[in-house]
Amino acid sequence: MAKLMVLTLLGLVMTHFKDYQSSYQKRLTAFREVEPVDLPNCNLVKGIETGSEDLEILPNGLALISSGLKYPGIKSFDPDKPGKILLMDLNEEDPEVLELRISGSKFNMSSFNPHGISTFTDEDNTVYLLVVNHPDAKTTVELFKFQKEEKSLLHLKTIRHELLASLNDIVAVGPEHFYATNDHYFVDPYLKSWEVYLGLSWSYVVYYSPNEVKVVADGFDFANGINISPDGKYVYISELLAHKIHVYEKHANWTLTSLKSLAFNTLVDNISVDPVTGDLWIGCHPNGMRIFFYDPEHIPGSEVIQIQNILTEEPKVTVVYAENGTVLQGSTVASVYKGKLLIGTVFHKALCCKL
C-alpha cells in the first residue's frame, strides 16, 4: 500500500512537472524559428560590442544608449567590465558612438550596471537621464544631468526604495518622477527562477516620486518595457512572457486604468514611442529559450515590430525587421529618427537602418 501511494504521488508530481514544462516552453516560444524580414540599408554601429539594451533618442537626434548589462541568466561578452552610457549622433551619415564621462563624487563607476533608461527635459531645456542600475545584484535608479557640450553625465542622486526591488525599465514623467517595471516579485535569485518557471504572474509596475511611491499595476508575467504616449495620457507596458502589450490610461493622481491589450507570437521587450506619429516600436525576442539559455550553436535572433494606431479598434502591426542572429543577437529595443531605425540588443551589437 505504501509503495502504491509513493508511485501515485510520484505520478502526480511528474504530471504537473510536464504541464509546467510545456507551459514554460510555450511562454518562451522555445520552438519558434525566425522568418526573415530584411531591410536593405543596414549597418552595424561602430563601437558597440557588449550590448545596447535600451536607448533614448532626443529631439535633436542624439541617442543615449545603455551598454554592458550583466543580468542573471543572460549572456555577457565582457562580464568583468562595468557598464556605460554611450552617445551617438543620428544626424551623421555613418554615426559612431562615444562613451559619456560620468562625474559625481558619490557615484561608484566600478559597479555600474545599466539596464532601462529614460530622459526628461525640463522647462529650461535641462535634460535629465534616469537609469535603472544593478550594482552588486541590487537595484537603484541613478539620476544624471546630461551635459551636451562636455559630452558627459553629472550624477545627481541615487534613488532606492523597497518597491524598486527588481526594476527592468523606466519612463520619466519628471526629473525625479517615473513609472518603472519590476520584472519579478521576488528578490532572491532562487525564488526568482521558480517565479518565472511556474508562471506566477506576480510582477508589477510602480509609480515613484519623492513624496509618494505606489504600485499602479500588477499581475504581469515578467513586466518589461514601459513608455508613455506623446500627449502623456497613456502608458504602454510590455509583458514579456505573455507576449502582450498593454495600454493604460494615466490619471491626474498617477494611477493607471487598463484599457486594452494586444497579443503577439514573440517576446516583447522595450517600447519606444515615435514622438511625431505616436507609433510604438518594439524590440522582440522571437525565441526566448535562446536568450535565457545561450548556446553559440543556436544563437538568439532579433525582431522589430511597429504598431500604428494602437488606440483605435484596429491597430496595424508590422514586422519591420527579423533575422536569425547571424547579424544581430537578442534585440531589445528599436527607435526611429528622421527615416533611421536604431536597433539595440541585450548583450550584442547595435544596428542602424535607413527606412
How many Cβ atoms sit within 10 Å of the Cβ of residue 56? 23
The Cα 274–Cα 280 span in angstroms is: 6
190: exposed, middle or buried (Cβ count in 10 Å: 0-12, 13-18, 19+):
exposed
Query: Residue 238 in contact with residue 224, Cβ under 8 Å?
Result: yes
Paired sense of beta strands 234-239 and 223-228, if any: antiparallel
Give bridge partners of residue 62 from the DSSP assignment.
Answer: 89
Q: Shortest CA distance to 56 belongs to which of 337, 247, 295? A: 337
Residues taking part in catalysis: 115
- Residue 290: Cβ-neighbour burial (10 angstroms; 0-12, 13-18, 19+): buried
Query: In degrees, to the nearest 5, what angle opens at C-alpha 183 toward C-alphas 179 and 187?
Result: 110
Q: Tell me the binding residues for Ca(2+).
A: 53-54, 117, 168-169, 224, 269-270
